[in-house]
Amino acid sequence: MAETCLLPVLHPFKKPTPRLPHILRVPNEIIEVILQAASRVERDNDRQFLGWQYPEHQHTQLKSIALTCRRFYALCMPYLWRDKEFILPREDDHTKNDSSVQLATDILSRQTLYLGQRRHFGSFVRSLCRDLTNGPHYDMNNSRLMAQLVCNLRCLRIDFHPKARADHYGLDFFAQSCPLLTEIYLENCRDTYDDFASLRKCRLTSLTLLCCTIKEQTLLDLISLNKQTLRKVLLQRVLIEKEEHTQRKNMTTASIVPLIPIPHTAYDHLFHAQNLTHLALSDAICYPMLTNIVAGSPRLIKLAIIVKESDPVLSTRCILLIAQLRRLRILSLAFRSVHPLSTDYERLVCGAPSYAWSYFAQHMNQLRLLHVSASQLLLSPDFLTTLFRKSPKLSQVMLHHVTYVTSVALDEWTDQQVLNAYRKELTTTKDTMDAWKQSHEEWQGYFLTHQQAQAKGFRCFEEGDHVCFVKGFEDWCENET
């Protein structure tokens, strides 16, 4: 029987095919998903109220991956340019003839070969942040060119210099050149020259305005046009410009334009059937306005508001309304009287009896963060136990001036029963640490006096906060160096 040769037959004219590393055998679509996950910036979104959540990816990690091979470079390139930030230099900075903005446009206009096509780097940008706070003016031609280069932009943030301008702010350039723009974040932007009117072209999902002014009709138009899409709203120190005074030319200071608070009618229009998921306001609201918020946006996930009610009945109604928002993960609630044209405020007593807060704790099972500020909160011993049992993911709680009371149960939420319960609980108040320590041994480390809170670095408490409760919020500490 002939023997079988088990040796492989080698052909000298054929070179063995090199085997690719396992990762390079994976389809591009899967590798791209891996790159996205590996480089994503980790944010605890359930415990932070952020108006600007970019960049989404860590540039350093992506750059290291892109330098490994051509294939990875091609896959990483869109993410390397997805989120960009440009800062205007100060006047005393030593720079070349080109300014920072000109340099930014030069960078964005550079071209590269991607998937067989020549594209400029600006076409990959999805979120753009411009820090213009170092100077009150900048070249509008560069703004026009930058807007044209980032034609696929989705999210725009511009922090302007606080000094009012004698010309427009250039929002129209981006509204015209970026048809996919859906998120706007603006600081120190004024509407004297109708800049905000250009945003009517956009279909917004998120709107953040800090220290801005806007014409009332323009605000109403933006609300109406984005009724079906707008889900995130953050308005902090936003005032209305009276339109009859804004036709004057050569205005160089903000004092020339009369400013008024946002009227309740505009807020009512905003809150009606809006279906917001994120809402933060610096203007104080009343019970009827909170009613509109809850009715118009029952799926709220994050809520930061100031309530100007101290009456026991209205305070209780506000708490019961908020308890209907069963999807809430972040709640920041302050009882204050706020001056509409300044940052001055006066803290108010939360006049709700402790049973209202116990009801709140029973119905909020999605909370991750809770911050309640008032000059006095009436709480019963079972409030914290119920709150943490019903909200197992709740890791950050800050309560100002918690006052120990003996709870009075209510059969019904009638006005008279609420008043009677509140008055009766006032006769049992205890503003000492001992009262809480005796009933909450497991939470002893979280109860702080004002002095203890100051020693830990918390500067958000006032001298009247005899006893506070703080769990988490380490990033709020201001340690003295």
Token couple for 86: 């440009």
Q: How far apart are CA 451 and CA 247, in angstroms?
A: 53
For residue range 206-216, list pLDDT tens digits in order.
999 999 999 99
Q: How far apart are CA 120 and CA 127, in angstroms?
A: 16
Q: How far apart are CA 244 and CA 252, in angstroms?
A: 17
pLDDT for residue 358 is more than 90: yes
* The one-letter amino acid at 61: Q
SS3 90: coil
Which pTM value belongs to this model?
A: 0.88
Residue 447 near residue 433 (C-beta atoms within 8 A): yes
User: For 299, what's the count of Cα atoms within 13 Å in the CB-facing half-sphere?
Assistant: 7
Hey, what's the torsion of the CAs at 257, 260, 264, 268, to 10 degrees? 30
Please name which of 193, 114, 126 lies closest in space to residue 153, comparing C-alpha atoms.
126
pLDDT band (50, 70, 90) for residue 274: very high
Which residue did the predictor score with more confidence, 341 or 469? Answer: 469
In sequence order, what are the beta bridge partners of 448? 468
pLDDT band (50, 70, 90) for residue 15: low
pLDDT for residue 99 is more than 50: no
Q: Interior CA angle at 12 toward 8 and 15, to 5°?
A: 90
Lowest mean pLDDT segment, chosen from 112-121, 170-179, 269-278, 411-420: 112-121
Mean local confidence (pLDDT), 458-472:
91
DSSP letter (8 states) at residue 376: B
For residue range 110-147, list pLDDT tens digits in order.
888 776 788 889 999 999 999 998 887 767 888 899 99
* The one-letter amino acid at 379: L
Q: How far apart are CA 48 and CA 58, in angstroms?
A: 19
Handedness of CA 229, 235, 240, 243 (dihedral sign): negative
Averaged pLDDT score across all residues of the chain? 87
Share of the chain above pLDDT 70, in %: 89
Residue 198 near residue 171 (C-beta atoms within 8 A): yes
pLDDT band (50, 70, 90) for residue 51: confident
| 115-120 long-range Cβ contacts below 8 angstroms, 24+ apart | 115/74, 120/149
CA distances to 137, 167, 287 from 195, rounded to whole Å, are 15, 10, 33
CA distances to 70, 98, 107, 137, 258 from 143, rounded to whole Å, are 33, 14, 14, 11, 29
